Copies of this chain bind each other. A is one copy, B any other.
Amino acid sequence: MSEVSQGGRQPTIREVAAHAGVSPMTVSRTLAGGVNVRPDVQQRVLAAVRELGYHRNENARSLRPGQASGLIGVAITNLGNPYYGNFALGVEEVAAEYGRRIVLGNTGEDPARERQLIADFIGRQVEGLVLVPSGGASDHLQPERLGDIPIVLASRRVYGLDVDAVLLDDVGGAYRGTRALLDAGHTRIGFLGNVRSVFTGQRRYEGFARALAERGIEPDPDLVQREQQDVESARDAMRRLLDLDDAPTAVFSSNNRNTVGALKEIGRRLKAGADVSELPAIVSFDNFELAELMPVPVAVIDHDARQLGREAARLLLSRLGGVDRRGPARLVEMPVTLAPSSTD
Whether A106 is near chain B, meaning CB under 8 Å from some CB there, is yes
Select one of B80, B89, B103, B263 contacting A306, CB under 8 A.
B80
When distances are taken between beta carbons in the complex, the residues of chain B under 8 Å from A147 are 4-5, 8-11, 53, 55
Q: How many copies does the complex hold?
A: 2
Given A63-B63, A69-B59, A147-B5, are A260 and B290 also a contact pair (CB < 8 Å)?
yes
The residue on B at minimum CB distance from A65 is B9
How far is B144's CA from A99's CA once the two chains are assembled, in angstroms?
26
Contact present for B344 and A125 (CB under 8 Å): no
Known contacts A62-B59, A79-B89, A103-B101; decide if A290 and B271 are in contact (CB<8 Å): no
CB distance from A32 to the nearest CB of B (A): 14
Q: Are B92 and A86 in contact (CB under 8 A)?
A: no
List of B residues within 8 angstroms of A63 by Cβ = 57, 59-60, 63
Given contacts A57-B123, A105-B101, A147-B8, A85 and B79 within 8 Å (CB-CB): yes
Q: Is A215 positioned at the interface, with any CB of B under 8 Å from its CB?
A: no
Interchain CB contact (< 8 A) of A104 among B53, B88, B344: B88
Asked if A268 meets B344 with Cβ closer than 8 Å, knowing A79-B92, A293-B294, the reply is yes
The answer for the CA separation of A125 and B62 in the assembled complex, in Å, is: 12
Contact with B along A216-255 (1 / 0, CB 8 A): 0000000000000000000000000000000000000000
CB atoms of B268 and A10 under 8 A apart: no
Q: A148 interface residue, CB < 8 Å from B?
A: yes
Bound CA span A145–B85, Å = 31
Contact indicator A263/B122 (Cβ below 8 Å)? no
A263 CA to B290 CA in the complex, in Å?
Answer: 8
User: Does any Cβ of B come within 8 Å of A56's Cβ?
Assistant: yes
Is A302 engaged at the interface, CB distance under 8 Å to the other chain? no
Q: Which residue of B lies closest to A10 (CB)?
A: B147
* A326 nearest CB neighbor, chain B only: B8
Name A45-59 residues within 8 Å CB distance of B: 53, 55-59
Is the CB of A21 closer than 8 A to any CB of chain B? no
Q: Is A186 an interface residue (CB 8 A)?
A: no
Q: Which residues of chain B are within 8 angstroms of A289 by Cβ–Cβ distance?
A: 260, 288-289
Do A144 and B79 have beta carbons less than 8 Å apart? no
* CB of A93 closer than 8 Å to a CB of B: yes
Q: A80-B306, A147-B5, A294-B290 are in contact. Are A92 and B105 (CB under 8 A)?
A: yes
6 tightest A-B contacts by CB?
A: A85-B85, A82-B82, A59-B59, A79-B89, A55-B123, A5-B147
- Which residues of A line the B interface, CB within 8 A? 4-5, 8-11, 53, 55-60, 62-63, 69, 71, 78-82, 84-86, 88-89, 92-93, 96, 101-106, 119-120, 122-125, 144-145, 147-148, 260, 263-264, 266-268, 271, 288-290, 292-295, 306, 342, 344
